[in-house]
Amino acid sequence: MSSLLNLPAAELVTRLAAGDVTSAALTEECLAAISQRDSSVRAFLNVDVERSLAQARSIDARRAAGESIGILQGLPIAVKDLICEEGVSCTCASRMLENYISPYSAHVIERLRAAGAVLVGRANMDEFAMGSSGENSAFQVTANPWDLERTPGGSSSGSAAAVAGRLTPMSLGSDTGGSIRQPASLCGVVGLKPTYGRVSRYGLVAFASSLDQIGPFASDVHGAALLLEAMAGHDPRDSTSVDRPVPSYTNSLNEPLKGLRIGVAREHFAEGLDDEVAEVVRRALDVYRSLGAELIDIELPHSKYAVAVYYLIAPSEASSNLARYEGIHYGHRTEKAGSLADLYARSRGEAFGTEVKRRIMLGVYALSSGYYDQYYVKALKVRRLIRNDFDAAFAKVDVIAGPVTPSTAFKLGERTSDPMAMYLSDIYTIPANLAGIPGISIPAGLSPSGLPVGLQLQAAPFAEETLLRAARMFEAATDHHRLIPPMARS
């Protein structure tokens, strides 16, 4: 394997800007790596070789002509297959949208093009972003590059595996309850969920509209900061997009935070956390202590209700969002229908997978007459209490540190028959989505069995600059982000 794909994003950008490496050459190496290894990893649903090379050559020609390229300088990027791009299939890894070609581009796609990105392909995922293991895709199951018999996490399984397997330097994912941070942790890469409203959701196929947020994957913190800087900002087409200036995250990234106060919640180290994961996280906290950070005990008392709250709110919103796929306006249409009602039922029954159906049914039940106040409204009230806990914590600390997942990557098939065990994979990540705050997973080391473990940092709303600087402090003091899966070393 070429050494280029082992380099961090900062160095790749520097080399591209200086002309030491061309975008076409880097893109060709990514395409070669995908050709050689993706049959084992199965990170991509679609790779457009000619189109991505044409993009790269165009960027090189513009650079040679002295034109401004943008901060990404021609870096190849994978895109999770629920972010629309004009003229490109957007399947959401579902039979429902198997033949759908998007007529427009998402705001983030427009931003990435303007920043000089090369979009190499569409990354696999759990169907409609519903899952924690990548096993709910209608087309293929993505494997973890660290162990091909284990899950890469989900729902952004392909996006995480593409970066971990050194198939692309960076990728885009979406995070509704941990779908960026959880696979980032299990695959040993950096994954960031921005503050709700920091990145436009225009062109993101909705799962749960009050929770979804697009975010970056990269092999290092600089790459995540670079990608966030490229795509963040106000979009008038998204009513939830916040009109707030975007800092230059990369300019301040290497400035250590003096007097950093790190909150450690006892709820994060309760029953259910594997000893191997707990030990790696505690060692990571010791690194921060050695760097002069102050560790402060905090409480997040309502976090124990987060999973229950999430699995009322998210399915309720999903049942509404997915109602549009009925075989007439959008999506698969059955060939066996009689009446109109039969057409709806058969089209949805044939095209939606088991997990999607399960969550639609949960949502319809929670919103139904007689249960709306008992379940959905009560969940909204507890969601507010969860946000209040974070607000109180951030009055005392700059960031909160803890585990990302309760365990390392589990074996494929191990939890498919136990939805509750699968849902608990996101127990530490869901609260950030409910509260709308930013969170990041950074590589914290390997377990005794050689599997990646991530450290989660969370910050107050729109404090991504603090979050990234705190993450970079740890990264600069360790070399965990430089570890490469065995399959990607040759």
Measured CA to CA, the distance from residue 58 to residue 435 in angstroms comes to: 42
Q: Which of 52, 102, 133, 155 is catalytic?
A: 155
Tell me the chain's radius of gyration from C-alpha atoms: 21
Measured CA to CA, the distance from residue 308 to residue 133 in angstroms comes to: 19
Pairing of strands 170-175, 76-80: parallel
Q: Is the dihedral of CA 85, 198, 225, 263 positive or negative?
A: negative
Q: Which of 52, 80, 105, 137 is catalytic?
A: 80
Measured CA to CA, the distance from residue 79 to residue 56 in angstroms comes to: 16
Angle between helices 49-64 and 23-41 in degrees, nearest 10? 160
Residue 357 is a catalytic residue? no
For tokens 């759990």, name the residue: 126
Measured CA to CA, the distance from residue 420 to residue 154 in angstroms comes to: 15
First-to-last alpha carbon distance for the chain, in angstroms, is: 5
Amino acid sitting at position 154:
G
Classified as helix, coil or strand, 402 is strand
**Got the DSSP string for 375-423?**
IIIHHHHHHHHHHHHHHHHHTT-SEEEEESSSSSPPBTTSSTT-HHHHH
Largest CA distance in the chain: 70
Cross-strand partners of 323? none
CB 11 within 8 A of CB 112: no
Both tokens of 232, joined, read 């963040």
Q: Please give the C-alpha separations between residue 74 and each of 19, 63, 68, 169, 313, in angstroms, as whole numbers.
A: 11, 10, 11, 11, 39
Measured CA to CA, the distance from residue 420 to residue 130 in angstroms comes to: 14
CB 406 within 8 A of CB 272: yes
CB atoms within 10 A of CB 66: 6
Q: Which of 179, 200, 303, 425 is catalytic?
A: 179
Residue 155 is a catalytic residue? yes
Both tokens of 171, joined, read 């990728």
Both tokens of 429, joined, read 């990540």
Query: Which ranges of 42-164 would DSSP assign to H, the alpha helix?
Result: 49-64, 107-114, 157-164
Catalytic residues: 80, 155, 179
